[in-house]
């Protein structure tokens, strides 16, 4: 094999550390640092219906088409600092940066204690259904109810 071909093959895949993510316009973009301080912009695609903005320090697993380091696309990203480690086989969890520390927030799909259980842990839970709105808030006590929305413009 030629030296150029060897270099391109070695440059196809890389694992890097995320330095910044921008998810505002079009395909999310990230700036990641790879080996030897190589800083690159890479596309950060996400699955349909799922959106996240990873924190600096998350890992990105990137492919570079034809070994061209100017056209990277992150195939996956993960942040072992925030990922829950207590999932049972087959369980799924939606979590954010506070999954492992107070005030905790996550949604867990499990079969514990019964098959088909969904557990939600958070400080404040807002539910909106049509013209109705309900709030459970740990700071204001257990006085939740379902109210017709008097002001249809609520903060998102």
- pLDDT by residue for the chain (156 residues), tens only, comes to 688 877 777 789 999 999 999 877 778 899 999 988 999 999 999 888 888 899 999 999 999 988 888 889 999 999 999 999 999 999 999 998 888 888 889 999 999 999 999 999 999 888 888 888 888 888 886 655 555 655 555 555
Q: 46 and 93 share a domain? A: no
**Range of 109's domain?**
82-122
Indicate the residue among 78, 93, 111 that finishes a domain.
78
DSSP state of 74: E
Joined together, the tokens standing for residue 138 give: 């740990």
**Residues with Cβ < 8 Å from 71, sequence gap 6 or more?**
64, 65
Shared domain check, 54 and 14:
yes
Euclidean distance between CA atoms 86 and 119, whole angstroms: 14
Residue 155: DSSP 8-state: -
pTM of the entire structure?
Answer: 0.75
- The number of folded domains in the chain is 3
Give the CATH number, domain containing residue 27: 2.40.50.140
Same domain, 88 and 73: no
Burial class of 130 by CB neighbour count within 10 A (0 to 12, 13 to 18, 19+):
exposed
């Amino acid at each position: 094999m030629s030296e150029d071909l060897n270099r391109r093959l070695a440059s196809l895949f890389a694992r890097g550390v995320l330095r910044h993510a921008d998810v505002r316009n079009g395909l999310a973009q990230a700036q990641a640092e790879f080996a030897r301080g190589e800083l690159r912009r890479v596309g950060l695609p996400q699955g349909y219906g799922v959106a996240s903005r990873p924190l600096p320090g998350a890992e990105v697993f990137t492919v570079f088409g034809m070994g061209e380091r100017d056209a990277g696309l992150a195939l996956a990203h993960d942040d072992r600092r925030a990922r829950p480690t207590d999932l049972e086989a087959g369980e799924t969890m939606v979590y954010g940066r506070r999954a492992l520390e107070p005030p905790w927030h996550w949604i867990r799909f499990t079969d514990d204690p019964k098959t088909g259980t969904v557990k939600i842990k958070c400080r404040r839970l807002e539910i909106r259904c049509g013209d109705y709105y309900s709030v459970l808030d740990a700071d204001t006590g257990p006085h939740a109810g379902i109210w017709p929305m008097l002001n249809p413009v609520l903060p998102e």
